[in-house]
Every structure is written in C-alpha cells, then in structure tokens.
Amino acid sequence: MAADSIEAAVAHAWQLLTQRPTLASRQAHEILKIDARNLDARLILGISLRLGGDPAAARDLMSTLVREHGDSGRAWLELGLAEADLGDVGAALTAGREAVRLEPDLPDVWRFLGDVLTQAGDPTSADVAYLRYVEAAVGDAQLMLAADALAGNRLDTAEPILRDRLRVHPTDVVAIRMLAELGARLGRYDDAAALLTRCLELAPGFTAARRNYAGVLHRQGKGAEALVEVERLLAAEPSDPSYRTLQAAVLTGLGEYAASIEIYEDLLTRHADQPVLWLNYGHALKTVGRQDDGVEAYRRCIALAPAKGEAWWSLANLKTVRFVSKQVEAMQAALHQARLGDEDRLHLHYALGKALEDGERFDESFDHYAQGAAIQKARLGYDALETAQQVRKTAAIFGAELFQAKAALGDPACDPIFVVGLPRSGSTLIEQILSSHPEVEGTMELPEIAAIARRIGEGDAGYPAGVADLDGKALAAFGARFLERTQVQRKLGRQFFIDKMPNNWLHVGLIRLILPNAKIIDARRHPLATCFSAFKQHFARGQNFSYDLHDLGHYYRGYVRLMDHFDQVQPGKVHRVIYEDMVEDTEAEVRRLLDHCGLSFDPACLRFYDNERAVRTASSEQVRQPIFRDGLEQWRNYSAHLRPLEAALGNALEAWRGESK
C-alpha cells in the first residue's frame, strides 16, 4: 500500500471512530498489517478498545505507545482516559498533566485534565484547566460548525451538533454554554439556567457563561439572583460596559429605575456612539414617564443606526408620537436593505403599521402589521392546540369538589391583587387606578405564578393535575414562596400589591388554592378590539399566541371558557371589569372595583393619570392621560381584514362579557 493510500486509510479510520468504532478498529488492523508501527492506527485501535468497553486492553496498548512515543500528547491523553475509566485517578492525573505539557494547544487534553482534577477534589485547578480548554477550543471544527449555525440563527442545525457533542463529552463547557444560549433564544429559560449552572460548577471562572447565566436569570424574572452574578462579574472587571449595561437592565427589572438611568447616563458619557445604549436608555426614561427625554434617546439611536427597527417601533409604541412623511420614507428605505435581519425587519413593519394607521391608510397599515406578525410567528412556533388542551385539563382538575376539599389551606395573606386577562384589555388602566390608592402598590407583570406552575409540573402527574396531590402544607408553602419571591418588587411598604401578569388567567385555580384570600380581577374588553390590538402590538417577549388572527381568536375563546368555569365553581371570587363600562361610567366601575378589593373609596383613584409611578407596559403613556373613548372602535377600520378572527372567536364574539359581572 502506497504512503498516500495509508494516509487516506488513516483519515477514514478517524472519521469512523466516533460513530462506528468497530469498523474503525478493523481499518486500523488493516493498516497495521502494512505498517505495524503506525502511530495513528495504534491510537485508533486503543481508542476503539476503550469505547468498546475494554479500558484495561486500551491502557496496555497506550502504555506501550507512551514508552515508544513519549512526545505524543495524544497518546498520554488516551492513557489517561483509560486510567480514568479503570478508576485510577492518580495515574489519570499524571497522564493528563503530561499530555498538556506536550500539546497545550490540543483542546481535549485541557478538558480531560479539568475532569480529572474535579474527580481529585481540586476544583480551583479544574477551573483553570477548563478555561484553558475554552481558549483552545476556538479552532475545534465541530464547535465552529455549531457556532456558525448559531450565528445564522439556524437553531435546528446547531442543536443536534451540540447534543451529539455533549453525549460524547458531557463536560464540554463550551458546548454546554452554546446549548444554553440556544435554549435561551427558544425561550427555554429553565433549561438554559440548568445548563449554565452545570457549566459554572465545572468552570466558575468562565466569565462568558456567567454573563449568559445572569442574562437568563434576568429573563426568568429572578432579578436579585441575576444582580449577584453581575456584581461578581463587575468585581473582576468594574468598567466593562457590557456588564454595566446588563446591571442597568437588571435594576430596571427590579424597579430600581433611578439607579438604572444613572448607569446608562454614565455609560453614554464614554460610549455615545453606541445605538443600543441610547435605545435602552430610552426604555428606562419612558418607564418613569420622562417621555420627551425618551423620545430624544430613541432618535439618537436612529441617527446612529437608521435601520434599527426596535428604535422606530419604540417611538411608535409610545402611542403619542406621529411620524411625518420623511420618517415613513426612511423606514420604508430601511426595509429594502438587502442584509436587514428579521429582528429589525419585523420591528420596522410594526412601526410602519402604526405610522400608516395614524395616516388613515388602513389597508397598507394592516399589510405591515401582518408581515411583522408573520415573521414573529415563524420564529416562535406557537401551537394553539396546546393551549386548548391546557384549558380543558385545567377546567377538569379545578372543580368545585377540589376547592371544597382544599379550602383555606394555602397561605392566608391577603396582600396580592391579581389582574388577569388578555393583554390590551385595560389591565394597565386597572393597575393604575388601584395603585393610585394609598394602600396599594403597583409592581409589574410578575413571573412567579407561572414559575410555581412549572415547578408543580416537574412532578410525575404534571401540571395542572399535580395540584390535586398537594396537601395543605405544600399549598401554604407555594403561597409563601410567591410572597417571598415578589417582596423585592414592593418598594413602598403598602398593605396590598398588584401582580398584573395577564396570562395568569390560566392559573386562577392555582392562585385560589395557594393564596385563598388574594383578590383576582379579570380585565375584559370586546374581543375584536382586544385581539386586533394585541395583533398589532409587538410584545417584548411572551404572548406567542398574538401573531396570528386564528390563534388569537381561539386563545380568547379558551380564556372566556375557563373564566366562565371559575365563575361557576368559585362564584364571586373573580371580579370582572369590562373596559367599555369603565369608559362609560368610570366612577361607578371604580367604586365596584375598590369594594371588591376591600378598599375604601379614594378620589385619587379617579385622578389615576396624575400617578407618577413607573409603568412598563405598552399602555404606559395612555394611562397617564384621562380615560378617552377614541380607542373603543379603532378595530372597525380593519373589519374587512378580521374575518379569520371572527370565525375563530365563534360564540365568544357574542358571549364575551361572561356569566358574571
């Protein structure tokens, strides 16, 4: 066999090794018949022995190889792997240290050394080894393929590559971090957090992973925990602008708006050319009611990055800014840029939809809303059948018998007031009215009830079925957990506080069991008004049902069905506020609302627009104005486009007010 033929045979054997080690072993034997001392063939044979479950034979072969080829780092690595499989940590450590001495640029040797140092009880040295692996892994072909797929947002390509990698190398901290990033992009934050926790257990000094972990905690609504991680990063690099930007975002999530704004202003003194800083600064200013300053910040972002779709949408989303024709033309021009990404494109479509709606060009406006929604729907993959099944299961579990059996077993606190429903149904208005009362504090859309539901869902029965198995101690513990986890959002020390997460309508039964004295408000509005308003609203995250008229109609119908069920099995426990009634007779509806919450009437609740509290939702500027009728019938301008929505709504289109008021 010619030398080039042997080289080709060796390359083929290496390719076979990970997927078909038996065939690789046969190929190695054939090579050794021609070249009995071929190092690669002997390495392949030793690896195939180890992978085939015979580490003792692999050790014997590798021991021979390191005697003959003491300068081969790969041979020392394979000897170490065989020793580790045989449980001899000391011998494995010796071999691993020799391997990294000989071939410090080989990523696998550092990963192996980190594994063995962990087994030897030396986590500090293991951390150093894993970090050296991170540095060396930059040129790894398999990881580069996965990184390229992630960069191109080809998540379905990246995921199997990374899972295959971790199946073979479960301690590969680079692959763990990349898979966590993929999970976060898909909204699988619990999975991402678990992966990053493992990654940081292996390599506490892996700062990129810690940065990801802080971001995932922030996305999960675990601001206090996220802040701890950010502060660890800043302790090492106090002036790093990316860490300080994340710190500002976390502080915003915790309601520490003044501190957040101060950080952004400090960063902008040195990085005024960064459009994303101006964008985030604008978000913080808008939240605290500094609308003019927020508008200026968004405009500074656009001046630096004219195709930054989120900045255009942020201006449109204020609901008070009207674009002139020159700005409309600028957005249209940005849309035609060849390399424009989906994120910018969908935001530009939504902004143009709003601009053209203000100009009463309703057909063109709808076309842009629909194009933006289509992009987002394709990214999210929402399944309406899953929601319908969840509604059926929830109604089946939370029957009158369950409530009777578990009455008053939860935490007795009466602090929380939950406002549920669909977004764009007047929930922010209700929150603004209630938080104008001296005994009530508005917080934000809190994620904790959904987190509790996920925790229950980890049990064998799943959620919601698992709720039926909870005893009084467990129910009270979950109620106490909610109060403890949301304490960080309570800044004013008032007796009551509001959780305005609209999606909690799916968890009304859970709330009633773990917090039986909490108040629940159902914010409701005409289904066509609600659903179309949600359709033309690009939400920062969540509300995955809102990007398709058919999905919206079915979602609203399921919501009405489940709330009707709770009216029947828990009569009077959920107070319904009809937005149209609130507009027609504000004082009467406010008095009914306060009475349900056990609050005395306070005139400040009628002057809710004077309340200077921070508001983070899309209605932030609208609730800083008196109630007006203008928005009640806006959907009629698009009625010709809403037939799919009407069909999906079915009987909810007529029976939307529910069985109680």
- Give the position of tokens 């066509």: 528
- Give the tokens for residue 545: 């049902």
Question: What pLDDT score does 115 carry?
Answer: 84
Q: Specify the higher pLDDT residue, 614 or 389.
A: 389
The region of weakest confidence among 77-81, 193-197, 640-644 is 77-81
pTM above 0.75, yes or no: yes
pLDDT digits (tens, 9 = 90+) for 313-354: 999 999 889 999 999 999 999 999 888 989 999 999 999 999
Which H or E run contains 505? none
Question: What pLDDT score does 623 carry?
Answer: 46
Cβ contacts of 207 within 8 Å, gap of 6 or more: 233, 236, 237
Q: What is the mean pLDDT of residues 412-431?
A: 94
91 has a pLDDT exceeding 80: yes
Question: What pLDDT score does 629 carry?
Answer: 61
Amino acid at position 58, single letter = A
2 has a pLDDT exceeding 90: no
- In whole angstroms, what is the distance from residue 574 CA to residue 419 CA? 10
Question: What pLDDT score does 630 carry?
Answer: 62
With cut-offs at 50, 70 and 90, classify the pLDDT of residue 631: low
Of the ranges 63-72, 451-460, 514-523, the best mean pLDDT one = 514-523
Q: Which CATH number fits domain 384-653: 3.30.420.40, 3.40.50.410, 3.40.630.30, 3.40.50.300?
A: 3.40.50.300
Kindly report the average pLDDT of the chain as a whole number.
89
509 phi, psi to nearest 5 deg: -60, -45
360 has a pLDDT exceeding 90: yes
456-484 CB burial, b ≥16 within 10 A, e <16: beeeeeebbbbbeebeeebbbbbbebbbe
CA distances from 217 to 186, 225, 454, 485 (A): 15, 7, 16, 13
DSSP letters spanning 12-46:
HHHHHHTT-HHHHHHHHHHHHHH-TT-HHHHHHHH
22 has a pLDDT exceeding 80: no
Q: What is the mean pLDDT of residues 577-604?
A: 94
pLDDT digits (tens, 9 = 90+) for 488-509: 888 888 999 999 999 999 999 9
With cut-offs at 50, 70 and 90, classify the pLDDT of residue 621: very low
Amino acid at position 657, single letter = R
552-576 CB burial, b ≥16 within 10 A, e <16: bbbbbbbbbbbbebbbebbeebbbb
Question: What pLDDT score does 315 carry?
Answer: 95
The region of weakest confidence among 11-15, 41-45, 328-332 is 11-15
Which H or E run contains 436? none
Question: What pLDDT score does 281 carry?
Answer: 94
For residue 107, say if its preceding peptide bond is cis, omega within 30 degrees of 0: no
pLDDT digits (tens, 9 = 90+) for 244-299: 999 999 998 888 899 999 999 999 999 999 999 999 999 999 888 888 999 999 99
